[in-house]
C-alpha cells in the first residue's frame, strides 16, 4: 500500500537506483543528477564540486559512483534543515580532479556553472533514458497510484534545462510535459495516467510501473462497475416512475369509461399493469404470453401502454 506521495516516489527511485548500468549511460545519469542538485563552490581557494540531497540512498549512490568512476575520495556531510518538518541534507563534496570530472560529464560550461547536455552525452536511447532517470532521481516526485489525482513532476532551477527536458521527451517519445513556475522553480509535470505509466517505463521503474497499472486497472474496473450500477439504479427508478404514470392513466380510463370498454389487446395489457405495478416490460411480456397464449415483444407491450396513456390524456 502507498499512503503518501513520498513513499511511492521513493519506491520508484529505489528501483532506479538498483538497476544495473553500463559506463556511458551511468555518466549520462550522473551528469543529470549533478546538473539538477549540484553546484560549484570555492573552499580554501580550490574549486569544489558539491551535491546536496535529502535522499540518503541517492547520496550514497552519487558517492560510490563518483569514487569508482574517477578514483577520487569524496567527502560527505550531514546537517539538519531548519524547516518546520526538520529533515537531513546529505552533501557530497569532491575537490580532486574537478575539471576532469566536469569535462567527462560534459558539465564544464564556465568556472561556476554547468553546461546543458550535449548530443555526444545523449548519443543513444539508453543514455537518454538514464539521463531522464537522473533528473527524476534528483528532483522528481509522483503521486501514489492509490491517489485519484494522478501527478508526476520534476523541478528545475533553470528554465532552459526544463525546456530542454520537455523537448527531449517530445522529440524522442512523442508526448508532452506541461510546465509551470512555482516560487523560484520551473516544474514540468504530467497528469495523464497513461503518460505517467509510459514515463516510469522510460526511466527504468518497470516494477513500479506494473504496480501503478494494477492500481489504475483495478480502479477503472471498480469505477466502471459503479457506473453500471448507477445506470441500472437510474433505469430502475425511471421504470418505476413510468409504471406509476401508466397505472394512474389506466385508473383514469377505468373511472371514466371502464376498462371493459377497451378492445381486448389494450384491456389485457391494462389489467396486467394494474396487477403488476412494478413489473418491467420484459416481465409483462412474459405474463401476457402466459395469460393469453399469444407472444408479444417488449416493444409491443410498451406501444400498448403508451396508447393507454394517450387515450387517458384525451379523456382529460
140-142 and 46-53: which strand pairing?
unpaired
Domain regions of the chain by residue span: 5-204, 237-315
The Cα 3–Cα 180 span in angstroms is 26
pLDDT at 93: 92
**Highest averaged pLDDT of the listed ranges 126-135, 230-239, 275-284:** 126-135
Q: Which residue has the cell 385508473?
A: 251
Residue 225 phi/psi, 5° resolution? -65, -45
Q: What is the pLDDT of residue 28?
A: 94
| Predicted confidence (pLDDT) at residue 293 exceeds the cutoff of 80 | yes
pLDDT-derived band at 109 (thresholds 50, 70, 90) equals: low
Does this model's pTM top 0.95? My answer is: no
Class of CATH domain 5-204:
alpha beta
CB-based burial label for 89 (10 Å; 0-12, 13-18, 19+): middle
Q: What contacts 228, CB < 8 A, 6 or more positions away?
A: none
Residues in the chain: 316
219-254 pLDDT, tens digit each: 666 666 566 666 766 777 777 788 888 888 888 888
Task: Write down the pLDDT at residue 49.
Answer: 93
Closest CA to 31 of 67, 66, 57: 66
What pLDDT is attached to residue 229?
Answer: 64
End-to-end CA distance of the chain: 64
What's the rounded Cα separation, in Å, for the pair 270 and 288?
11
> Tens digits of per-residue pLDDT, 182-196?
989 999 999 998 899
* Alpha carbon distance 188, 153 (integer Å): 6
Instruction: Please report which confidence band the pLDDT of residue 310 belongs to, taking 50, 70 and 90 as the band edges.
Output: confident
Cβ neighbours of residue 58 under 8 Å, at least 6 residues apart?
A: 13, 17, 33, 90, 137, 138
172-185 tens-digit pLDDT: 999 999 999 998 99
Amino acid at each position: 500500500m502507498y499512503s503518501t506521495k513520498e513513499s511511492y516516489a521513493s519506491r520508484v527511485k529505489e528501483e532506479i537506483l538498483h538497476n544495473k548500468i553500463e559506463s556511458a549511460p551511468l555518466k549520462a545519469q550522473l551528469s543529470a543528477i549533478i546538473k539538477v542538485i549540484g553546484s560549484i563552490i570555492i573552499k580554501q581557494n580550490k574549486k569544489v564540486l558539491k551535491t546536496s540531497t535529502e535522499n540518503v540512498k541517492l547520496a550514497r549512490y552519487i558517492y560510490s559512483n563518483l569514487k569508482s568512476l574517477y578514483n577520487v575520495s569524496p567527502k560527505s556531510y550531514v546537517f539538519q534543515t531548519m524547516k518546520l518538518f526538520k529533515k537531513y541534507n546529505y552533501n557530497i563534496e569532491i575537490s580532486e580532479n574537478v575539471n576532469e570530472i566536469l569535462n567527462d560529464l560534459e558539465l564544464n560550461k564556465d568556472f561556476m556553472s554547468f553546461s546543458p547536455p550535449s548530443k555526444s552525452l545523449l548519443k543513444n536511447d539508453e543514455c537518454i533514458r538514464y539521463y531522464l532517470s537522473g533528473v527524476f532521481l534528483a528532483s522528481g516526485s509522483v503521486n501514489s497510484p492509490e491517489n485519484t489525482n494522478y501527478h508526476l513532476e520534476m523541478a528545475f532551477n533553470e528554465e532552459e534545462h526544463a525546456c530542454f527536458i520537455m523537448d527531449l521527451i517530445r522529440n524522442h517519445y512523442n508526448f508532452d510535459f506541461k510546465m509551470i513556475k512555482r516560487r523560484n522553480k520551473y516544474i514540468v509535470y504530467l497528469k495523464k495516467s497513461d503518460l505517467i505509466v509510459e514515463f516510469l517505463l522510460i526511466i527504468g521503474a518497470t516494477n513500479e510501473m506494473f504496480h501503478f497499472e494494477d492500481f489504475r486497472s483495478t480502479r477503472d474496473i471498480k469505477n466502471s462497475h459503479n457506473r453500471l450500477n448507477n445506470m441500472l439504479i437510474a433505469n430502475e427508478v425511471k421504470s418505476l416512475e413510468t409504471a406509476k404514470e401508466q397505472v394512474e392513466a389506466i385508473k383514469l380510463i377505468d373511472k371514466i369509461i371502464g376498462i371493459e370498454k377497451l378492445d381486448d389487446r389494450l384491456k389485457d395489457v391494462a389489467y396486467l399493469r394494474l396487477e403488476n405495478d412494478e413489473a418491467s416490460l420484459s416481465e409483462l411480456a412474459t405474463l401476457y404470453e402466459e395469460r393469453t397464449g399469444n407472444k408479444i415483444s417488449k416493444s409491443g407491450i410498451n406501444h400498448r401502454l403508451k396508447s393507454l396513456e394517450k387515450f387517458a390524456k384525451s379523456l382529460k
